[in-house]
Structure 1
Amino acid sequence: MYHQTLKKYFGFDSLRTGQEEVITRVLDGHSAAAIFPTGSGKSLCYQLPAIELPHLTLVISPLLALMKDQLDFLASKGIPAASIDSSQTWQQTQQVMQQVRSGEIKVLMISVERLKNERFRQFISQVPISLLVVDEAHCISEWGHNFRPDYLKLPHYQQSLNIPQVLLLTATATPAVINDMQEKFNISKDDIIVTGFYRHNLDLTILAAQDDEKLDVLQHQLTAQPNVPSIVYVTLQHTAEEIADTLTRNHIPAQAYHAGMDAERRQNIQQQFMAGSINCIVATIAFGMGIDKSDIRQVIHFDLPKSIENYSQEIGRAGRDGKESTCTVIANKSGLNVLQNFIYGDTPDRSAIAAVLSEIKAQSQQWEVMNNRLSKDANIRLLPLKTLLVYLEIRHIIEPLYTYFADYRFKLNVNQQEIINRFNGERRHFVEAIFACSSKAKIWHTLDMDALWQGYQADRKRVVAAIDYFNEQGWITLESKQMTDVYKITNHQFDIELESEALYQLFQQKENSEIKRIESMVDFFESKTCLSHQLAYYFADHHAPEQCGHCSVCRGKSITLPPLPTLPDVSDQVLTQWCDQFINACDIAPSVAAITRFLNGMTTPLTTKIKAKQFDGFGQLEAYPFEQTYAHIQRLYG
């Protein structure tokens, strides 16, 4: 059967536990899910079927780095694969699209956001697809970590693109998330393969240390195993820079890595780490997804991870070669505020939700949304805004119709008449109409879709297909911008007050769930029973040994995290001075939560709009628990 393919392309005589079950189900025509720990060969579960299946395998991948590593691997095995991504030139994208169309490419990798692109959907809908692969599939569950609202639309895309099967891949899914994925993609329970989560070669240690001790503890850990490939995880970008500089000055060569660096520099650092010319990376969680380096010997969390899921994903990058590797958390409670502030900053105000509902109420049948504009107008961060729009779909208030670019513009690479002359009859008249309704500046022509419809009844989809074709032929260079989501309003009769309260409660539940996730992580780190066993149990693996013998608890060194230092009280007078400057700059009275976010130093569309970072009070209470500050503001202004 497929064993010849396995030997020919991958050089393996047999498959690992779980791989055979998943691959067999996919090749038998079933949708399936592979819940395997990091480094257990999930990728082979789609790579091998991709060779055997007749048509394209479309892979949804969350990060460019992940795509690049996968593509390099596939190329090394002689499997024709490509990506369409934001780093490519127009010519590169066109070449890939042509190869996909002709059937030369077997695997195409894209981000989930690519499916919102009208031009891409127009192209991919004409390509027969055998299998949709969703990597990091836990992102589809709003109760999982790393929830991405766009993932919720993947079941819809699977149907609209007539893709017969789906394969979900993840390393970090709790029982609740597994159930969620199963329901959303309608996968049979028998086709969900969960292999053991327990990793016998990972030594887990939790060390308690106050802030002023952490750096010494980190240096001790790194010098205890000198010059081995190591990742040090931190929460904030500036911390990554500071720690890397300090380590290098103390004769431990280290490089910072975070999302604030330009892509070329990040890529260069990653390549040096992979090649072994850099051994120590100090990184935010921007580093790691797709780092398929088998000999990482230690992972150290200098700051608390965001959750047990993040912790397990990050330590999962160690020891993929099966050899012993150490995973250490240098822990105290001072980092909890930063983690909690990420959560509190994402909960929209009730009044902000009401503002979005009021805008919907004011429309007749359709609602056109540019997310960036709505985010600024309503003062809701982009990710929770996307979540809100999904909630509105679930509550049958809106229904997504399509996404389009509001603006198309092009410049001519050949004479306009030369393009027109290539067509005859009705098609020639249609092409003439496109040019007639495209106003020209110096070089660029801007398409007027309304004029095309009113003057010529030219269907928008046909116009987009035509200018895409001109672009592919190289006759024009095409640009599109201002992505706009169009929704049908399915219910105008809703009560704004009742709905905004119900939706606000949903966000409150999500906020509580995320805060509890942090509390669970602290409980885990302070555990008095085997860490490996607890971690495996959290991820539905009930077969791990009750005592692993290679964690700090089994060595008799369970810990209690040092408490937070006592912070000085802030007087009502000082607090009022800080708050009044912020309140006076706002068009309408901000909520207690909005004032608290300002004092805690959380950036929101509102703080950006009024340039609140320049105010005296911004971030003054960053070290104080959100709930404590909220209670104080409630007493003064509530």
Structure 2
Amino acid sequence: MLQLLQQYFGFSTFRAGQEKVIQALFAGHSAAAIFPTGSGKSLCYQLPALHLPHLTLVVSPLLALIQDQLEFLQSKGISAASIHSLQTPAESSQVYKDIAGGQVKILFISVERLNSERFRLFLKKIPISLLVVDEAHCISEWGHNFRPDYLKLALYRREFNIPQVLLLTATATQKVIADMGNKFAIDADNITLTGSYRANLNLSVLGVGSFDKLNTLLPWLDDRKQQAGIIYVTLQKTAEEVAKQLSSSGVPAQAYHAGMNGEQRQSIQQQFMSGELPLIVATIAFGMGIDKSDIGFVVHYDLPKSIENYAQEIGRAGRDGRPADCLVLANKNNLNTLENFVYADTPEPSAIDFVLNEIGQTNGQWEMVMNSLSSESNIRLLTLKTLLVYLELEGLLQPAYSYYAEYKYKLLVPEQVLLERFKDERYNFVQAILQSSNKARTWATIDFEKMQSLYPSDRKRVITAIDYLDQQGLIELQSKQMTQVYRVFKEALNGNLRELLVQRFNEKEGNEVQRIHFLLDFFASDQCLNLQLAHYFSDNNLQQPCGHCSVCAGYPAIMPATPVLLPLKKTDFEELSAEIRRKLGSQTTSVLLARFFCGLITPVFTRLKVRSVKGFAVLEKYRFGEVKAWVEEHLL
């Protein structure tokens, strides 16, 4: 272990927790590492990957994180690769070839890549030593960033016969840690927590009104001119506005958010990493996987989404071990907005009915396209994925497989040249694929039904064949319209199921709203900020006040009074709702109107392009429940 550490990474000793995790993997066990952001979780799989005989497969949530890890490993002479949607067909084809040839030790993918039938068929042919799940708290619905696709990873582990698993995260409560360990059968002795407290981070909270934030921030930044920093905001438009205001005040800053194109984001990120650009004003799209050690401060211009988000985001500061400042400009002005985002994710009972009816009409097997079902049921995409996971947990659905409904290809060599690569039965098989395809001028589409009548073949064999042709550079392959296939167990479709689902989403909604209130109470507290964080994350290393947060310094945050809103009864419902009610027609419900007034987007609103409709988001600062009650009064 120490020899590999010195040879590849240039270190003579391990950081806290690393050695225990790596030893568990060397001994053939599965393990979990819960280390604070910036404390070296990645080494826990990078080093074992060099020792293990086969491929290490890393599931990671963000392309930026993957790219950063790839560059690091390649600079150390470690063969690593990724497969992602931004690659050209030639680039991904080369990666497939390298993996098949055993030339790649570490492969990075997103969890969504495993929805690809083509990719799963490929993986089944590759021996894999270790599955690594980064941001592993996403596995647990009790975590702050639950991603339903992550729930399937335990199934994939069995499907690909992967002997060992490593789970990595910076933020997990005791409940989430137990959930992660149970799902992957990890022995409690092989779950390592190093504690969340970092003594070099100085946490401060200031109670500041919305209109005073910039005036408060400018002198604070003036004392930190030579440092690199990140300012976090909630909305994309706020990122643009604050960056512009800072620049016009003589503080060079750039906005960064998911609304920018990939090239823009990459360029800004590179400028920041190189030190050319000292300050980024970003939504939470920025920062995951950013391995910049000299970030001297992190400012939350708006409140973070949760305690877990806060811990992750401040964790990007001070990775070089030097003191770093973490400031929150806090008020309760956008409490209603934060709460309202939660209400946008709860499906209406009628929407749940729609999905259950769709399933009920099937004959033991259900095929669906996620985007289409989201639009038809008016359930947001992530919420729909969560609903389907709940239906799996209730025994109604079992994922069978998923496939692309359409495979298109274009020939990169003349047809006869391609066929000459094969002999006898294989020649006839490949010729049948080409002959049964529906040809346009450049692209041809695989017709599986026509292929069956011309040359009866297993669908998997056809996909494996065209995948091989793509890898060999004989065709360029494209696939689209992902179709999910489930087995349906109708005995679970009982009268209680709908009510149980409604209750479960309501509980989830309540939990999320509670988290927001906990967050605000945390920032307004007169207790040591670091000690509260330590208790929240089950860290027993810190047993007394830290002595260097704003509360310990004698300055607990005093929240300014929130602005008084005009009573809703003084708002003209008929005038504001006329146009949207006309557009919605029979689909009009009190929940939909309340979401419209609060500026909360649902699939039906996207389809109707409601952002330009009179009344949209006009009540975004009001509480959703109050707006809904006001709407119901007028609809009676």
**Class of the TM-score when normalised by the shorter of the 2 chains:** over 0.9
* Amino acid in structure 1 at the alignment position of 2:295: I
Deviation at 1:602, TM superposition (A): 1.0
Residue deviations 1:160-216, cap 9 Å, x none? Answer: 000000000000001111011011111111110011211111111000011111111
Corresponding residue for 1:109? Answer: 108
Corresponding residue for 1:598? Answer: 596
In the alignment, is residue 266 of structure 1 matched against residue 229 of structure 2? no
Deviation at 1:415, TM superposition (A): 2.4
In the alignment, is residue 248 of structure 1 matched against residue 230 of structure 2? no
Deviation at 1:527, TM superposition (A): 1.1
* Amino acid in structure 2 at the alignment position of 1:610: L
Deviation at 1:363, TM superposition (A): 1.3
Deviation at 1:493, TM superposition (A): 6.0
Corresponding residue for 2:149? Answer: 150
Give the 3 Å change call, closer, same or farther, for CA 219–572 of structure 1 in structure 2.
Answer: closer
Corresponding residue for 2:297? Answer: 298
Residue deviations 1:11-39, cap 9 Å, x none? Answer: 11111121011000011011100000111
Corresponding residue for 1:13? Answer: 12
Distance in 1 between the 2:452 and 2:36 partners? 53
Q: Counterpart of 1:368 in 2: which secondary structure?
A: strand
Distance in 1 between the 2:380 and 2:346 partners? 9
Q: Is the 8 A contact 1:139 1:148 kept in 2?
A: yes
Q: Is the 8 A contact 2:360 2:490 kept in 1?
A: no
Q: Is the 8 A contact 1:231 1:282 kept in 2?
A: yes
Deviation at 1:351, TM superposition (A): 0.4
Distance in 2 between the 1:611 and 1:320 partners? 44
Q: Is the 8 A contact 1:210 1:332 kept in 2?
A: yes
Give the 3 Å change call, closer, same or farther, for CA 571–318 of structure 1 in structure 2.
Answer: same
Corresponding residue for 1:568? Answer: 566
Deviates more, 1:497-506 or 1:231-240: 497-506
Deviation at 1:578, TM superposition (A): 2.3
Deviates more, 1:514-523 or 1:608-617: 608-617
Corresponding residue for 1:359? Answer: 358
Corresponding residue for 1:466? Answer: 465
In the alignment, is residue 135 of structure 1 matched against residue 123 of structure 2? no
Distance in 1 between the 2:628 and 2:446 partners? 50
Corresponding residue for 1:625? Answer: 623
Q: Is the 8 A contact 2:364 2:490 kept in 1?
A: no
Distance in 2 between the 1:479 and 1:403 partners? 16
* Amino acid in structure 2 at the alignment position of 1:142: E
Q: 1:152-171 alignment to 2 at 5 Å?
A: 152-171=151-170
Corresponding residue for 1:521? Answer: 519
When the two structures are superposed, what TM-score results if normalisation uses the length of structure 2? 0.98
Q: Is the 8 A contact 2:336 2:624 kept in 1?
A: yes
Corresponding residue for 1:539? Answer: 537
Q: Is the 8 A contact 2:339 2:513 kept in 1?
A: yes
Q: 1:364-379 alignment to 2 at 5 Å?
A: 364-379=363-378
Q: Counterpart of 1:297 in 2: which secondary structure?
A: strand
Q: Unpaired segments of 5 or more residues in structure 2?
A: none
Corresponding residue for 1:444? Answer: 443
Deviation at 1:587, TM superposition (A): 4.9
* Amino acid in structure 2 at the alignment position of 1:228: Q
Corresponding residue for 2:287? Answer: 288
* Amino acid in structure 1 at the alignment position of 2:181: Q
Corresponding residue for 1:197? Answer: 196
Deviation at 1:574, TM superposition (A): 1.3
Residue deviations 1:419-447, cap 9 Å, x none? Answer: 33433333233223212221111121111
Q: Unpaired segments of 5 or more residues in structure 1?
A: none
Q: Counterpart of 2:621 in 1: which secondary structure?
A: coil
Deviates more, 1:542-551 or 1:302-311: 542-551
Distance in 1 between the 2:387 and 2:209 partners? 39
Deviation at 1:610, TM superposition (A): 2.0
Deviation at 1:339, TM superposition (A): 1.7
Corresponding residue for 2:348? Answer: 349
Distance in 2 between the 1:89 and 1:607 partners? 34
* Amino acid in structure 1 at the alignment position of 2:503: Q
Corresponding residue for 1:615? Answer: 613
The correspondence for 1:634, drawn from 625, 632, 635, is: 632
Give the 3 Å change call, closer, same or farther, for CA 579–572 of structure 1 in structure 2.
Answer: farther
Deviates more, 1:535-544 or 1:575-584: 575-584
Distance in 2 between the 1:590 and 1:396 partners? 33
Corresponding residue for 1:430? Answer: 429
Distance in 2 between the 1:351 and 1:494 partners? 16
Residue deviations 1:232-266, cap 9 Å, x none? Answer: 00000010011011101101111111111111111
Q: Is the 8 A contact 2:394 2:492 kept in 1?
A: no
Q: Counterpart of 2:328 in 1: which secondary structure?
A: strand
Corresponding residue for 2:275? Answer: 276
The correspondence for 2:583, drawn from 572, 582, 585, is: 585
Distance in 2 between the 1:449 and 1:501 partners? 41
Distance in 2 between the 1:263 and 1:292 partners? 19
Deviates more, 1:568-577 or 1:127-136: 568-577
Distance in 1 between the 2:349 and 2:501 partners? 8
Deviation at 1:454, TM superposition (A): 4.3
Q: Counterpart of 1:586 in 2: which secondary structure?
A: helix
* Amino acid in structure 2 at the alignment position of 1:181: M
Distance in 2 between the 1:474 and 1:556 partners? 67
Deviation at 1:492, TM superposition (A): 5.3
The correspondence for 2:498, drawn from 487, 497, 500, is: 500
Distance in 1 between the 2:226 and 2:573 partners? 49
Corresponding residue for 1:556? Answer: 554
Distance in 2 between the 1:557 and 1:146 partners? 32
Deviation at 1:269, TM superposition (A): 1.0
Distance in 2 between the 1:467 and 1:492 partners? 39
RMSD (Å) for aligned C-alpha atoms: 1.4
Corresponding residue for 1:309? Answer: 308
Q: Is the 8 A contact 1:349 1:591 kept in 2?
A: no
Q: Counterpart of 1:588 in 2: which secondary structure?
A: helix
* Amino acid in structure 1 at the alignment position of 2:429: F
Stretches (4+) displaced over 4 A: none
* Amino acid in structure 2 at the alignment position of 1:73: F
Residue deviations 1:455-488, cap 9 Å, x none? Answer: 4332110110111111112222111111111111
Q: Is the 8 A contact 2:337 2:623 kept in 1?
A: no
* Amino acid in structure 1 at the alignment position of 2:398: E
Q: Counterpart of 2:44 in 1: which secondary structure?
A: helix
Q: Is the 8 A contact 2:5 2:11 kept in 1?
A: yes
Deviation at 1:498, TM superposition (A): 3.2
Distance in 1 between the 2:322 and 2:444 partners? 60
In the alignment, is residue 394 of structure 1 matched against residue 382 of structure 2? no
Corresponding residue for 1:335? Answer: 334
Deviation at 1:573, TM superposition (A): 6.9
Distance in 2 between the 1:170 and 1:493 partners? 35
Q: Is the 8 A contact 1:530 1:548 kept in 2?
A: yes
Residue deviations 1:289-310, cap 9 Å, x none? Answer: 0111111111000000000000
Percent identical pairs in the alignment equals 53
Q: Is the 8 A contact 1:396 1:491 kept in 2?
A: no
Q: Counterpart of 1:6 in 2: which secondary structure?
A: helix
Q: Is the 8 A contact 1:234 1:301 kept in 2?
A: yes
Residue deviations 1:567-590, cap 9 Å, x none? Answer: 112347711332343233225333
Number of residue equivalences: 636
Q: Is the 8 A contact 1:524 1:531 kept in 2?
A: yes
Q: Is the 8 A contact 2:138 2:145 kept in 1?
A: yes
When the two structures are superposed, what TM-score results if normalisation uses the length of structure 1? 0.97
Q: Counterpart of 2:496 in 1: which secondary structure?
A: helix
Q: Is the 8 A contact 2:206 2:558 kept in 1?
A: no
Q: Counterpart of 2:560 in 1: which secondary structure?
A: coil
Give the 3 Å change call, closer, same or farther, for CA 536–256 of structure 1 in structure 2.
Answer: same
Q: Counterpart of 1:298 in 2: which secondary structure?
A: strand
Q: Counterpart of 1:451 in 2: which secondary structure?
A: helix
